[in-house]
Homo-oligomer: A and B are copies of this chain.
Amino acid sequence: MAVRATIYEVARRSGVSTATVSRVMRNGTGFSDATRVRVLDAARELGWVPSGSARGLANRRAGIVGLLFPDFSGTGDAEQESPLYVDQVIRGAERAATSAGDAVLIAATRGSSGRELALSLAGKVDGLVVMARSLTQADVASIARSLPVVVVANRAGRGVDVDSVGVDNRGGVRAVVEHLVGEHGYEDMVFVSGPARSPDSMERFAGFRDALRAAGLPERKSPDASGAFTEAGGARGVQALLAGRRPPQAIICGNDEMAIGALGVLNAAKLKVPGDVAVTGFDDIAATRHIRPQLTTVRQPMRDLGEQAVRALLARVDDPDRERHDIVLATQLVVRRSCGCRPRASSVPNTQGRTAA
């Protein structure tokens, strides 16, 4: 382990040329059984592993994809946005990459250092998956000039022409609201949004508006409260909401964390859920099943997001000229107690996954 062995030493030790060693390692053909054994033995004895850098240089392909995600922990507030979402996407990306024989490099942008970080990654990878809110649109456009990029949960803006993978946020919220209206007859509903600049959050609110309109209920142009996608934020938002009006029949939250925060506030205010007020979330994190009442929410396939993103990326690395893909994954309504339904939970898919070119 002192100093890493090279192909030359393996070649010498096994009495063949480096070309033959290379052939054997690449599982190619063109060598006798005996040589293969000799080479492999020599490699093992020397503890040799082919240098990825040298391979990458020779192949013009590192066999590595990068994943850039935002990390808000420690951003002023002590409260943290749930990391669950990002972690699941990372897992999915890892799975897809590994199964394709590649590896995935991860890096979190904290605050404004995004651009720099992306550049430092760029040289080490064959392509980059960029999660929403980790890079500005301008930076994405800039980076995309140097290497293949796929954006996640953030349909690329007008200027930027890159592949994207996202979920049907809009349809998801529409489905909850339809359930609330159709099954429970609620008419007085409010929406608690996440960070103002989150594409996910904006789409979810759009779904809320769509559903209100479709139901013939009075529309509104902005969310009734907002909570930064955190439990504490959701609590504050709902608190403020309750201070200004009598309780609504239902509170539709932009994600589960905020819904959990809402539950706490309602409980403290002696309001029964779902008796007095119904509450719903979005994401379907594990806590939705542990909390009481169990949370009705919209499940989004976080893992699939990562998988599809990496697949799309690798496809483009292999074929830079293929047409642009914008993948939208289906979400699923998960009915539990907090909306007012009885225990026997059931779930129904509400949208089809679809791919648009």
Interface set of A (CB-CB < 8 Å, partner B): 1-2, 4, 47-57, 60, 62-64, 66, 71, 83, 87, 90-91, 94-95, 98, 101, 103-108, 117, 119-125, 142, 144-148, 260, 286-287, 290-292, 320
Contacts and interface: CB of A to CB of B under 8 A. Distances in A.
A170 to B, nearest CB: 28
Contacts of A62: 52-53, 124
Nearest to A123: B52
A291 B107 CA distance: 33
Majority secondary structure of chain A interface residues (helix, strand, loop or mixed): mixed
A104 B106 contact: yes
A119 B48 CA distance: 10
B103 A105 contact: yes
A14 to B, nearest CB: 17
Contacts of A52: 53, 56, 62, 123-125
For the complex of A and B, the 8 pairs showing the least CB-CB separation, nearest first, are A53-B56, A52-B124, A52-B123, A87-B87, A47-B145, A53-B57, A47-B146, A49-B122
A119 B49 contact: yes
A124 B260 contact: no
Given A62-B124, A98-B107, 11 more contacts: A4-B146, A47-B142, A49-B123, A51-B57, A52-B62, A52-B124, A94-B107, A95-B108, A103-B105, A103-B121, A260-B290
Contacts of A83: 87, 91
Contacts of A94: 106-108
A323 to B, nearest CB: 15
Contact of A1 (B4, B125, B148, B287): B148
Given A64-B124, A105-B64, A1 B144 contact: yes
A4 B147 contact: yes
Contact of A123 (B51, B117, B125): B51
Nearest to A117: B98
Nearest to A125: B52
A148 B57 CA distance: 23
Contacts of A105: 64, 103-105
Contacts of A260: 290
Nearest to A321: B2
A105 B117 CA distance: 15
A146 B1 contact: yes
A103 B47 CA distance: 24
A4 B145 CA distance: 9
Nearest to A87: B87
Nearest to A50: B123
A123 B290 contact: no
B98 A1 contact: no
Contacts of A90: 87, 90, 106
Contacts of A120: 101, 103
Contacts of A48: 146
A262 to B, nearest CB: 13
Nearest to A260: B290
25 contacts: A1-B147, A1-B148, A2-B320, A47-B145, A52-B53, A52-B62, A52-B123, A52-B125, A53-B54, A53-B57, A53-B62, A53-B124, A54-B57, A64-B105, A71-B95, A87-B90, A90-B90, A94-B108, A95-B108, A103-B120, A104-B106, A104-B107, A106-B106, A287-B290, A292-B292
